[in-house]
Chain A
Amino acid sequence: MPFGRKPNEFPSHLWTQCPSCNEMLFNKQLARNLNVCTKCDHHFRLGARERIELLVDKGSFHEHDAALTSGDPLGFTDSKPYPERIAAAQTKSGEKDAIITGEATIGDNPVILAVMDFEFMGGSMGTVVGEKITRAAERALAERRALVIVSASGGARMQEGTLALMQMAKILGALARLDQARLPYVSVITDPTTGGVLASYASLGDIIVAEPGALIRFSGERVTSGTVGEKLPTGFGKAEFLLERGFLDQIVPRPQLRERIGFFLTAFRAASQDLRWSL
């Protein structure tokens, strides 16, 4: 885990320093504690696979669209051609792109789950993320399941230009249909979620929850302070700030997420009387 500084007596493959309380944490123990600091409850980032394991009923997850990978629609090159960046990210992460989708149950509620991975090109949203979330929403609609999306993203993927931007409209078209069909959508916002992901599906759940301390902002910190040239108050753009401003339903610590999501989904299903969205 690439976090924090590492004094020599604490090799980083064994130890991680908590950026919040400075405690040196034994990596194995940190992982066992769901990447939450055992001393101060600081939430470290969590990979998509680990996240899925933590969220769903044991053994219930089946992945969809695992082979989808991005083309190079613009022929984009900066210091490196875009396809090389994709290939490098794939090699490094073992994943095809910045999201994993599939079906599962959460507290016995049938869901379609989409989980973003910030480690893959900053969790950026291009056509693969757009397509996989849209398919997830369409599948939820067809099978009358709930949709749960866990966001972690720096925003739209620049290398796919306006086609990345268009994914926001594409996904929201599918979410509109889900909403019209009275199927629940739960948005889980994790650290960090910014830009086009926050300005689309992450902000639209029937229920929106975030993890403690997560950075949640429309603009990058540099943009906001650079543009306005003023120092921002501490905690600005963190989950706790958004809760206070009215943009989140709850902040839910990681170990409680599965149970909490299950509670809401069960409640929605019960209230619909005819169990409409159950399978």
Chain B
Amino acid sequence: MLDRITGTKRTVEANGHLPVDANLITEPAQLASRVSAWEAVQAARNIQRPHTLDIVGRVFDRFHELHGDRGFRDDPAIVGGIADLDGRPVVIVGEQKGASTEENIARNFGMPHPEGYRKAMRLYRLAEKFHLPLITFIDTPGAYPGPEGEERGQAEAIAQSILLMARLQTPIVVVILGEGGSGGALALGVGDVVLAMQNAIYSVISPEGCAAILWRSPAEAERAAKAMRVSGPDLLELGVVDALIPEPAGGAHTDHAATAAAIRTALAAQLAKLERVPAADLMSARYERFRAFGALDEAGAAPPPPPPDSWWRRMMKRPSS
């Protein structure tokens, strides 16, 4: 039952080759070359990279944006709405960066305020209410850290978003488009399937922030990025993402259309699988997916275990029902 939602890789062990449908990368070995963590950071932050609305405009047949959190204002750093993919309506929520300095100022550089997360939650509930799949796009340096955010409950908004996604009774596909900055990313990041672009990054703190604290110099960001293992292949190995969506040679910024086409293929395949899964199975598989993260050593017992098996791999090892 559950293996239906694991999708592309479940027959790997059975037939001994990689049937990578939807062109997804599920093993770092599938990549011709592996970029360094720092190259990935720069690619993920490239201002020419396609951002959420570029992708949404190219991937979906129609899209109507829905504004506002119904409480305070419409946060331009988070966009959302209803779109359709091959006649299938879906709810979209994504973090939005700008393609120029001017746009970035308007979008607060993709750093949402609490009301942005509250808008996201409103749309999550809408998806659940009408049984629409939810697709989220992550692209943020992090939640806005300024005093207005603190005043309006940045931490509470993020916590509630994560909690809501964990319990939302509708299929969720997460795509990390560019930068996955900490809790501000995870607020859109709890899904049944978590995909990342080949050159996307995901980290618990920005490499600069980590470097400032542990190396006492933001200039050591390159080292911090490597140590924290923020690149796509790292995330695959850690099981944090289930698969990478390949980017055009030269990176997503060189060809928005081809990037969007790869995302569309991936989404269509994942949605087709997820939609057949009964809600109860979906909920328990989502719980187990995140429950599995932890590398623990019960003292006196074995040496530290290897990094956790990815969710895909664990599912594959189960006999199919």
Contact = CB atoms under 8 A, between A and B. Distances in A.
A164 B204 contact: yes
A147 B206 CA distance: 32
Given A156-B182, A203-B159, 10 more contacts: A70-B295, A71-B295, A73-B295, A164-B204, A166-B293, A170-B290, A170-B293, A172-B159, A173-B167, A199-B143
B47 interface: no
28 contacts: A68-B296, A73-B238, A73-B295, A73-B307, A76-B228, A78-B223, A96-B299, A158-B204, A158-B228, A161-B228, A162-B230, A164-B204, A165-B204, A167-B294, A169-B190, A169-B293, A172-B159, A172-B162, A173-B190, A174-B291, A199-B155, A200-B162, A203-B160, A204-B160, A223-B209, A224-B150, A227-B145, A236-B150
Contact of A228 (B147, B189, B230, B300): B147
Contacts of B152: 245
Interface in A114-164: 127-128, 130-131, 134, 156-158, 160-164
Nearest to A226: B145
Contact of A163 (B155, B223, B238, B300): B238
Question: A interface, how many residues as a size bin?
Answer: 35 or more
Contact of B155 (A76, A96, A164, A203): A203
A163 B229 CA distance: 10
Contacts of B307: 73, 163
A165 B145 contact: no
Contact of A168 (B183, B210, B223, B297): B183
Contact of B291 (A156, A165, A173, A203): A173
A199 B154 contact: yes
B149 A162 contact: no
Top 6 A-B pairs ranked by shortest CB distance?
A71-B304, A219-B145, A73-B295, A71-B295, A166-B293, A127-B294
B227 A78 contact: yes
A53 to B, nearest CB: 24
Contacts of A130: 293-294
Interface of B: 143, 145-147, 149-156, 158-160, 162-163, 165-167, 182-183, 186, 189-190, 202-205, 209-210, 213-215, 223-224, 227-230, 235, 238, 240, 286-287, 290-291, 293-300, 304-305, 307-308
Nearest to B292: A170
Contacts of B308: 73, 163
Contacts of B235: 162
A165 B227 contact: no
A245 B204 contact: no
Contact of A161 (B160, B163, B190, B230): B230
A279 interface: no
B186 A158 contact: no
A243 interface: no
Contact of A74 (B145, B154, B228, B291): B228
Nearest to A236: B147
Interface in A159-211: 160-170, 172-177, 179-180, 195-196, 198-204
A69 interface: yes
B297 A71 contact: yes
B296 A218 contact: no
A58 to B, nearest CB: 29
A77 interface: yes
A67 B299 contact: yes
For B151, B159, B215, the residue with the greatest tally of chain A CB atoms inside 10 Å of its CB is: B159
Q: Which of B146, B209, B304, B307 has the most CB of A within 10 A?
A: B146
A192 to B, nearest CB: 13
B156 to A, nearest CB: 4
A237 B296 contact: no
A217 interface: yes
B214 A79 contact: yes
Contact of A169 (B156, B189, B214): B189
Given A162-B235, A169-B186, A72 B304 contact: yes
B229 A228 contact: no
A247 B153 CA distance: 7
A200 B164 CA distance: 11
